Structure 1
Amino acid sequence: MPSPNQLPALIAVACFFWLLHNLEGHQVIEQPKLSFFGVFFTAAVASYAASFGTRWFPGANGRFSHNDREPFKGVRVRARVLNKPRKFSLPVLILCIVLRIEVFYRVSQDLQYDQDDDNDPGATMWDAIGSWLTSSQASHLFPVSLLALGAYWSLTQEPKSTFFCRGQGSKVVTLLQWIGILLDAVIITTAWRIIAWARTIKSRLQTVTAILLGAAILTGLISWTSPYVHTKAATYDFKGLGSLYLFDIIVDGLVLSAFLISTTLVVEESTPLSLVATITFITGLSAVIQQILRTGTWEAISPFTTWLAFNLVCVGFSSFLFTYGIRSVLFIPRLLLVFALISLTISATIYIPLSYELEEAHPLRDIIFDSRKASDRFRINAAMSDSLRVAIEVYKERNHGRDPPKGFDLWFNYANKHRSAIIDHFPQIENDILPFWGMSPSEIREGVRRAAQEPDIAILQIKNGQPQHNLPSANPYKAVMDDLVEAIKAFAEHLPDMELAVNMDERPRVLVPWEEVNRRIKAAKRGWLHRLLPRDVDVLGEMTKPQPSLLGDPQANGNFTSAKALREMTALACPPGTAARAGTYWDTRDLCIECTRPQSVYHFLLDWDIAQDICHQPDLFRLHSFYMTPPELKPLQQLLPVFSRAKTNSYSDILLPLRRISENSNLPSDGFNMKWKGLAWRGKVNRHESSRDHLHGGHQERLVHIFTGASKSDRTRIMLPVDDKRYGFEDMPTTEVNSFLPTDVGFVEYKACNSKDKGGCEVTPESEPQSKPDLEVLRYQYVMVMDTDNGPPRDFLRVLRSSSAPFVASIFKEWYSDRLMPWVHFVPIDLRFHALHSTLAYFTGLQSLDVNGRKVLMEGRPGDGKWIAEEGRRWASRAIRKEDEQIYLFRLLLEWGRVTNDNRDELGYALGP
C-alpha cells in the first residue's frame, strides 16, 4: 500500500501514461492551437480550485517531511538549493510553452518525420535527454545515456508508414524538432526553479495556475489571430461531435492538472530527474517487452537490437539508482527492483533466440489454398436452391423470417432462365434496405422527394410497368440513366410503381451517424414499428425536375464541406468504442499495427471485409485521398433513400448497378503467359484542392513514391527464404528491393491545386510525382487497381475480365463486391502497402538478391498468379455479366417496391400447398 508521500508519484506516472496513450487519439489533435487553449484553461481552473484544498495534501505546513516513505527514498539532491528565479522567468516560461506548441503544430502539420534519417530526433526519449543534461551532473551522464538509448531503441523498432517526406521540408522539420528539444529543457528547468521557490503548496499550485493561464491566454490570442481561422466556415451539422470534443478538452485538462499538481509535490521531494527517469524506464521497459513478445514476426525482426535495448534499459536504470543514491522507487526497494530486472534480463536472453521461429513454407501458399476451398463452399452456399420452395426457405432464413416480396417467383424464373450463378447470396441488398424497414413507407417516399432537391440526384420512376427518368437531353448523365432504364425494361412489367433517387456523383452521399442507423435497424428487426404507423395512399405524380449540378462550384449554396469535417462525419458513422469514433490517428510516421492486425496474417491481407472498414483503422484518414479531399457535394446526414454506384461501409447509400459515362471494354487477346512479367499501374489526378497530407500521404502518391521516389533511408520488410525450406522476414532498403522486382508504376497526368501555398493551381516541385508514358497496363501479368480520390477504381471490372491478375487496394464496395473472393479472383493489397513487395515477390520471385552479405534466390509462383487471373476472368463471365446486373436490379427493385408500399406486410410471397 503506497504511503501519502508516495501517492503523488503514482498519480504523476499514471497521468503521464494516460496522456501518452490517449491524447494522440483524441479529437483535440485536429485543432491543436484551439485545443491547447482549452486544455490549459481547464487545467488552470482545476489547479486553482485544488489550491484551496491543500490542507489534505502531504506537506501542508509548507515543507515535506523527509522520511523512509518518500517516493524516491535516499535520493542525493545535489541541486536542491537553486538560484532565485529572475523577474522575467515567468513570462519567459510562458513564452517558451507557447513556442513549443507552435513548433509541435508546424511539425505535425508539415511533415511527420525526417525521411533522410533513420533516427527521429523528435522522439519522446530525446525530449527527456535535454532536460536531464540540464539538471544532472557528469556522474549521472553515463547511466542516463544508457537508459535513454535503450528506451529510444525500444520505441523506434516499429515498422514505418509509407507516408513520405521529400525536398527541403524534411530539413526544416529536423531543425524544428531540435528546437523543440531545447525548449523542453528550458521549460522543465525554468518551471522547476519557479515552483521550488514557492514555499507552500498553495503558492505552488497558484504558480502553476498562473503559468497555465498565461499560456492559455497567449495560445488563444495566437489561435484567433491566425489566418487559418478566417477561412470560409462550413455549414454542416456535427450532431454531437462538439460535445465529444468538449468532453476530451475537459478530461485532458483535468488529467494535465493532476499530473502537474502531483509533479510539483514529487520534485520537491527529489528532483525532476528522478521522476523523468522513472517514467522513461517504465515507457522503455513496456515497449521493449512488447517487442520481445513479437520477436520473430514481421513486426519485430531484429532480435539482437531488441535484446540490446532491453539490456540498456535495465542496466541504465539500475546504474542510475545507485549513482543517484535512490534506495527505493515509489514503494519498491532498490534491491528488489534490481533483482527483478536481472531476472528479466536472463529470461529475455533465453526467450528471444527460442522464440525466433521460421516458416516452413511461404504463408501465401497456404492462404491461397485455403481461399480456394472457401471459394468452393461459397459457390455452393450462393446457389443452393434448386427449386422455388427451397429458395423461399433460404430467403426467410437470411432475412429475419420475412417472406420474400411479391413477384419472387418471377424473379426466380428469370434468374434461372439466364443461368445465374448466384441465387441465394444477396447480403448487400439485405443490408442496404434493412434500415428502411424501420421507417414508414410515407416517410421513405418523402425522403425520395427530399433527396430529389439535392444537386446531381436523378429520379427514376416506374409507373404502370414503364421506367423513365427526369434528366434532360443536355445533362451529361443522361446516357447513364438511359442505360439504367434500358436494363429495367426487360422486367419492368413485373414491378410495382415506385420512385428512386439515383446519385450521379462518383462519391456516395448518405453519411448518417451510427446511432440513427442503428435505431432504424433495431426497429426493423423488432418488426412492430411499421404496423403501428398510419398508412397513406400515395399515387405517383409528376417527377421532380433535377437540380442544377454544383460540381466545379463546391461552395455554391452552402454545399462546401472541408476534408476535416468529412473525417469527423465519418467517425460519427462508426459504432461507439471503435478506434475511429474515439479520435484521430495523426502519427503518420509509424505504421498502425493495431489497425492491421484484425485483417492480416503476418503482414499479408486476409480478411477483405474487415480491411474495407474504416472504423477500426483511423490511420487511413491520412493515408487515403478520399478522406483528404473536400467533397464537392455536402454529405447528407439524414437517412434518405439514395441509390449510388459505390460506397464505403460508413455510408448508408443503397447500391445498384450503374455504368459510368465512359467505360472502355477493349481487352487484349494475349493470355497470362504471353504478358510482360511484372506489376503495372497508371494514374490520373486532377484535383481541385491539394493539401500537404495529399502530397505526401495520398494513396496514389505513396504508391508512386514507393517504386519511383524512395530515398536511401526508406526500408521495406519483406519475406524471403532463409534456406532451402524456411522463410523469414528481412529489413532491406526499399531501393534495393525495387531493383529486383519488375514494376512499371507512374502517373500519366497529375494536376492539383495548392492555392494556399502557391497562389494558384499547380503542383509544388518537391511534391510532383514522376510521370511516365501511358503504356497499356493490361499487357502486364499483374495490374494494380486502386481507388480514385472520389470513389472506387474505374477499371476493376476491365482488369478482372482480362487475363491479368488484379492487385486490388480499395475501401469501396459496388453491387458485385460480395461475389468476389480475395486470393481467388484478385490479390488483396492493404492500402498501407507494407506487404506489397512481399506479395509481388511471391508471384514473380527474386533473382540473386544481396541480403546482408548473402545471395538469396527466391523462385516465383507464377502458376498461382495465372490461376487467380484465369479464375477471376471465368467467374466474371459467369457472375458479373450484363444479365447478372439485370438479375440484381430485378431483385433489388422488388424489395424496394415492397418497402415503400403502405401494404408491405401483405405483399410477401408465399408458396401454396
Structure 2
Amino acid sequence: MALPSESLAALCAVASFLWLANSLEGHQLIEQPRLSSLLVLLTAGVSSYAASFFAFWLPGANGRYDDDLGSLRTSRANLPKKPRKYHLPGLVICIILRLELFHRVTVDLACSTPGIEACLPLVILFYELLPGRGTRSDSDVQEKNDDDPGRTIYDVLGDAFSNWLNESQTSLIVGTLALTYGAYLSSKQSIRSTFFCSSLDSNYLVFALQTTGLLLDGVIAVLIWRTLAWTRTTKSRLKTLSTILLASSLGTGLLYWSFRLFHRSRPMSYHFRGLDSLYAFDVVVDGLAFSIFFISAGLLTTEGSPLPLVGIVTFLSGLLSALQETSLMGSWENVSPYTTHWSLVLICTGFSVFAYANNLRSILFLRRAFVIFLLVIIIVSATIFSVARGGRVLNDHPLQRLIYDARVESGRWLVHATVSDSLPIAVQEYKERHNKRDPPSNFDVWYKFAKERNSPTIDHFAQIETDILPFWGIAPDKIREGINHIGAEPGIAMIRIHKGTVTHNVPHGSPQKVVVDDLVNMIEVFAEYLADMEMPVNLNDQPRVIAPWDDVQRFTTAGKRKGLGKLLSRRSDLSEDKASFEGPSGTTDTGSAPLPKSFTSVRALREMTALTCPPGTTMRSGVHWDIRDFCPACANPQSQGQFLTNWPLSQYLCHQSDMLRLHGFHMTSPKLRPIQELLPVFSRSKTDSYSDILIPLRRTEEPVKDDGRAFAMKRTRLFWRGSVRRADSSHELLRGGHQERLVHLANHASSKDKTTVLLPVAKNRDKFAYIRASTVELNGLLPMDIGFSDYNACGDEDKTCQALARSEFITGEDPKTVTAPANKYILTMDTDAGPSHDFLEILRSGSVPFHASVFKEWYSERLMPWIHFVPIDLRFQGLHSTLAYFAGIKKGLDGEGEDMEMEAKTEEGKWISEEGKKWAEKAIRREDMEVYLFRLLLEWGRVVDDRREDIGFVLT
C-alpha cells in the first residue's frame, strides 16, 4: 500500500535532515566551509529548479493541496500573512549570515554549549503565540453539554482534559517545553573530549553566536514558510525555492571571494594525490540531500506551520540520543542513569502532548495512537532497564583481568617467537610464515649469529615482513631507480654496502654523522655476508613515505604471489648474489632530479593520511569535525571501558578519525615534504599510515640517567616533562595537541570539568563502580607532576598564542636529570614529530612507563602492554582511573571522606617495572639490534636483486 503524499514528504524531510546531521561530520565539506557552502547551495538550487519540471508527480501540482496534507495542516486562520517585498532578500541574507555563524562556532567548537539546537521548537512556538497569529487561548476550550443524564463526573473530566489537550495554548506550551528540555538534557549527557576551551577563549561569545544562530534558524523557517505558503502551485514553489538557494549561493560566493581577496593565504601544498574526487562527491550528495529537505519541508509547512515538522525532527533526534545513552547506563560513558531516564520520559510524554496539541493525526507514516503506544512501551522498558543497570557495580577491577590475560598472552607470544631450536626447524618456520618462500641467502649464518647472541626471538619478525613485502611487487630495477631518486631528498643519508665494505655520504661536521657512523658500525659486524646494496636512511624523526592504500595493497598482493612456484632445490651462492646487483651509487648520481619541494599544509597531510586507509573506514574521508565530544566509536574497538586491551589496534588509526585533530603530529605541517610514492626509505619510527622500513637507529639526544633507586624508594607519583619547539602553532593545535591537552587536563581544568573514574564502592571494597567527579578535585587527590620544561611554539607576532602559552602551559624541571627515574610512574608520550626519545631508558630504569603513542619502532612488536608498560590512550579518558589503581587515593571526593578511598596496587606496579627492565636487558640490547638489522638487510639484499626469485637458502 502506497504511502500518502503527506507521509512520504514528512519521511523525506526527516530522513534527509537526520542524514545531513549525522553524516556531515565525516565529510570533506568542513575543511573548506565557505567554498562548500557555495557549492552545496548551488547544487541544491539547481536540483530544486530541475525538480520543478517534475512537479506534476507531487501534490498540489495545479493548485493548493489542503486535502493532501491534512494531518499536518492546521486552521487556515493559522496561515501566515502575505510576504512583504523585502522578505526574499532578507531571507537570503539570513541564510548567508547563518552559515557564517556556523563556521565561526566550529572554530571554537570546544567552547560551544551542547543541546542549544534542541530549543528551536521554542523559537517557532514564540512566533506562533505572537498576537494575531492564532485563535487558540485557554478561554476557547469547549465544554461539553452536561444535559445528558448518563454522563458521569469522569466523563466530564475526560472531555475537559481532551479539549484542553487538543485546543489549549497551555497544552501546546507544556508539550513543546517538555520535548525541548528532554532533548536538551539528552544532548548534554555525552562525554566531553579533552580538547579544551581556554580561559582566554571567548566562550560567552560562542554561546551568543549559538543563540543568534538558533534565532536565525527560526527566522529562516518562518520566512521560507511565509514566502512559499502564498505561492500558488508546487511548480512555482519549487522555482521560488530554487531562486532562494541560488541567490544564497551567489551571496556566499561573493563573501568567499572577498575573504580570499583580503586574506591571502599560502597555497595548501604542492600538487599531491588528495581527496578531490571524494570532496566533489560529498558536495553533490549533500547538495541533493539539502534540496530534498527543503523541497519536502516546504511542501509540508506551506498549508500549516513549521512547528509540527520542527517538533518531529527534534523528537526523533532527542529520542535516538536518549536511547543511546540509556543503552550505556552503568558503563563509564553514562554514570547518570536518572538524568538519562528523566530526559527520555520528558521526550516521550512531551511529544505525546505536542502531537495532540498540533492535531498530528499521524507521525510520518504511523498513526498517532500507535506511536504513543510505542512510546509507553519505551518508557516502561527503559524504567526496568534503568533500575537493573543504574546502580551497576563491577565484581572485579578490569585491570586485574587485563594484567592476568596479558601474562598468559605474553607466554604464548614468547613460545611463538622461539619455536626453532635447530636450523631445519627455523627454515620450516620461515616458509610457513612467509608464503612458502625460502629464506634469504646466508640464513644459516644469520641463525648462528642470532643464537650466539642469545636472541629471544628467532622466528617472529613480522615487522620486517610487513615492511618488505610490498617491494616484492615492484621490479628490482624500479626499486633501484627509486633509491637513486630518493637519495636527492633532504634529510636522507645514503649507505652503500659493496663487497663487504660499508660507506656513507654524511659529511664531517654534521650532527647526524654520529648516528650514521653508529649504524655503519653495526652493519660492519656482518657486512661480509650481505649482498651489494644501497640504503636511503631517513635521519629525521618524522617518517617520509605515505603511499596510498591502493598502491600498497596492489604491490603487496603481487608480492605474495612471487616465488610460490620456485620450490625446486637451489644452491645458495653468495658471490652470485653480489654480482647480480650493480646499481648506480646514490652518492654520485646526478641523473635523477630531486622531487619538487614545497610547503605541505596540515589539511594536505590529513588527506594523505586518509588515503593510506582502506575504502570504507572512517579515516578515509580525512575529516573528524566534532572535537568537542568524546568519540566512542573511535576508542571502543581497542578498549574495555576506559582501559586499552588491544595495543596494536590502538596504534592503527584508520578507525580513529578523531586522532587527526587530537595528536600534534597530524596537526603540524611537516618540515619535509611527505612522499606519496612507494619508495624505499629506512626510518627510525613510523605510524601504521607510513610505508617506511623500520631500522634500529640511535638518537642524538642524551638518555635519561637512572639514579639506581629501588622501586620502593621512588616517589609515588606520575611524572612527565615535555619540550615543544615549533615556529608557530595553529588555533586548534594549541588546544587539541596531545601534549597541550595533557598539561591542561592535569593543571588547568576548569571547575565545570568532570572526569569519570573507577573506584571501590562504599560498602564493599572488593566491588567497583564508575563515578563522575570534579577533574580539579581528582587532580588534587592523585599524585601527578606534569608540565612542560620548555614551551616555545608561537610566532613572534602571535600575541594570542603567547598569552595562551603563559596562562595554560606551566614549566617544570628538566627531565634530563635524575628527577624522572626518581618516580615510580613515568609517562612517556609522542612528540609532534615522533615517539618519545626516552621510552627505552625509562623501561630500563626500574620505573613503570605509562606509555601513550601511535608510533612504532623496530622493537615495538616485542613489548607487551600490562607486562612491560602501562598503555594509555592518547585521548586520556582512562588516565585518572589507571593512576588511581596503581597509586591509590587516600582522601575522599566531595566530602565523602573514606568512602572514596582506594588502596594502591604497588606490588603490581613493581612487578611491571621489574618485567619491563628484565625484558629490555634481554630483548632490546645492542646485540638484538644487530640481529634485527642483519636479518632485515638479508631480506632487502634479495628484494633488490634481479634474480631474487631464483635465489634463497635451501638445506642440502
Q: Amino acid of the residue matched to residue 258 of structure 2?
A: T
Superposed CA RMSD: 2.1
1:198 aligns with 2:191: no
Q: Distance in 2 between matches of 1:268 and 1:430?
A: 65
- Partner residue, 1:787: 830
The 1:848/1:147 distance shift into structure 2, 3 A limit, reads: same
1:17-38 CA distances to partner (integer Å, 9 max, x unpaired)? 1111111110111111111111
- Partner residue, 1:49: 50
Which residue, 713, 729, 732 being the options, matches 1:690? 729
1:223 aligns with 2:261: no
Q: Distance in 2 between matches of 1:281 and 1:56?
A: 29
1:88 aligns with 2:121: no
Instruction: Return the offset for 1:181.
Output: 1.4
Aligned counterparts, 1:307-456, within 5 A: 307-356=341-390, 357-456=392-491
The 1:773/1:131 distance shift into structure 2, 3 A limit, reads: farther
Q: Distance in 2 between matches of 1:441 and 1:8?
A: 61
Instruction: Return the offset for 1:546.
Output: 10
Which residue, 187, 190, 204 being the options, matches 1:158? 190
Instruction: Return the offset for 1:294.
Output: 1.6
Q: Secondary structure of 2:111's match? A: coil
The 1:460/1:33 distance shift into structure 2, 3 A limit, reads: same
Which residues of structure 2 form unaligned runs of 5+? 131-168, 567-576
CA contact (8 A) 1:126 1:152 kept: yes
The 1:245/1:168 distance shift into structure 2, 3 A limit, reads: closer
1:650 aligns with 2:689: yes
Instruction: Return the offset for 1:174.
Output: 1.6
Q: Secondary structure of 1:750's match? A: strand
1:144-181 CA distances to partner (integer Å, 9 max, x unpaired)? 11001111211221111001011242222122112211
CA contact (8 A) 1:439 1:530 kept: no
Q: Amino acid of the residue matched to residue 689 of structure 1?
A: D
Q: Amino acid of the residue matched to residue 652 of structure 1?
A: S
Q: Amino acid of the residue matched to residue 33 of structure 2?
A: P
- Partner residue, 2:275: 241
The 1:852/1:400 distance shift into structure 2, 3 A limit, reads: farther
Which residue, 243, 262, 266 being the options, matches 2:300? 266
Q: Distance in 2 between matches of 1:133 and 1:792?
A: 56
Q: Distance in 1 between matches of 2:104 and 2:795?
A: 18
Q: Distance in 2 between matches of 1:674 and 1:185?
A: 65
- Partner residue, 1:815: 858
1:461 aligns with 2:501: no
Q: Distance in 2 between matches of 1:891 and 1:416?
A: 13
- Partner residue, 1:551: none
Higher mean alpha-carbon deviation, 225-234 vs 43-52, is at 225-234
Which residue, 505, 516, 522 being the options, matches 1:470? 505
Q: Distance in 1 between matches of 2:455 and 2:70?
A: 74
- Partner residue, 1:829: 872
- Partner residue, 2:155: none
- Partner residue, 1:901: 945
- Greater C-alpha radius of gyration: 2
Q: Distance in 1 between matches of 2:804 and 2:333?
A: 35
1:161-218 CA distances to partner (integer Å, 9 max, x unpaired)? 0010112422221221122112112111112111112221111111111111111111
The 1:662/1:271 distance shift into structure 2, 3 A limit, reads: same
1:742 aligns with 2:783: yes
1:264-287 CA distances to partner (integer Å, 9 max, x unpaired)? 111124321111111111111111
Aligned length: 893
Q: Distance in 1 between matches of 2:458 and 2:803?
A: 50
Q: Distance in 2 between matches of 1:511 and 1:360?
A: 46
The 1:240/1:676 distance shift into structure 2, 3 A limit, reads: closer
Q: Amino acid of the residue matched to residue 460 of structure 2?
A: H
Instruction: Return the offset for 1:385.
Output: 0.6
- Partner residue, 1:40: 41
Instruction: Return the offset for 1:360.
Output: 0.6
Aligned counterparts, 1:470-869, within 5 A: 470-527=505-562, 538-544=581-587, 558-664=597-703, 666-722=705-761, 723-724=763-764, 725-754=766-795, 757-758=798-799, 762=802, 764=804, 768-774=808-814, 776-851=819-894, 853=896, 855-869=899-913
Q: Secondary structure of 2:60's match? A: coil
Q: Amino acid of the residue matched to residue 174 of structure 2?
A: F
Q: Secondary structure of 2:922's match? A: helix
Q: Distance in 2 between matches of 1:410 and 1:147?
A: 76
1:615-637 CA distances to partner (integer Å, 9 max, x unpaired)? 10111111100011000111000
Instruction: Return the offset for 1:136.
Output: 5.1
Q: Secondary structure of 1:151's match? A: helix
Q: Secondary structure of 1:718's match? A: strand
Q: Distance in 2 between matches of 1:768 and 1:285?
A: 38
- Partner residue, 1:188: 221
Q: Distance in 1 between matches of 2:416 and 2:349?
A: 60
Q: Distance in 2 between matches of 1:57 and 1:749?
A: 66
Q: Secondary structure of 1:459's match? A: strand
Q: Amino acid of the residue matched to residue 783 of structure 2?
A: P
Q: Distance in 2 between matches of 1:899 and 1:79?
A: 82
- Partner residue, 2:150: none
Q: Secondary structure of 2:849's match? A: strand
- Partner residue, 1:552: none
CA contact (8 A) 1:9 1:266 kept: yes
- Partner residue, 2:573: none
The 1:564/1:273 distance shift into structure 2, 3 A limit, reads: same
Which residues of structure 1 form unaligned runs of 5+? 115-119, 548-554
1:633-690 CA distances to partner (integer Å, 9 max, x unpaired)? 1100000000100000000000000111223253120011110001000010101120
Q: Distance in 1 between matches of 2:116 and 2:789?
A: 38
Q: Secondary structure of 1:848's match? A: coil
The 1:78/1:713 distance shift into structure 2, 3 A limit, reads: farther
Instruction: Return the offset for 1:416.
Output: 0.4
Instruction: Return the offset for 1:241.
Output: 1.3
- Partner residue, 1:550: none
Q: Amino acid of the residue matched to residue 476 of structure 1?
A: P
Q: Sequence identity, in percent?
A: 47
Q: Distance in 2 between matches of 1:244 and 1:689?
A: 30
- Partner residue, 2:133: none
CA contact (8 A) 1:66 1:269 kept: no
Q: Distance in 2 between matches of 1:757 and 1:62?
A: 61
Q: Distance in 2 between matches of 1:277 and 1:346?
A: 23
Q: Distance in 2 between matches of 1:288 and 1:649?
A: 36
Q: Distance in 2 between matches of 1:766 and 1:426?
A: 46
Aligned counterparts, 1:868-887, within 5 A: 868-887=912-931
Instruction: Return the offset for 1:451.
Output: 0.6
Q: Distance in 1 between matches of 2:120 and 2:667?
A: 31
- Partner residue, 1:10: 11
Instruction: Return the offset for 1:411.
Output: 0.4
Q: Amino acid of the residue matched to residue 890 of structure 1?
A: F
The 1:529/1:458 distance shift into structure 2, 3 A limit, reads: farther
Q: Distance in 2 between matches of 1:591 and 1:188?
A: 31
Higher mean alpha-carbon deviation, 816-825 vs 171-180, is at 171-180
Instruction: Return the offset for 1:851.
Output: 4.9
CA contact (8 A) 1:112 1:589 kept: yes
CA contact (8 A) 1:470 1:545 kept: no
Higher mean alpha-carbon deviation, 768-777 vs 203-212, is at 768-777
Q: Amino acid of the residue matched to residue 616 of structure 2?
A: G
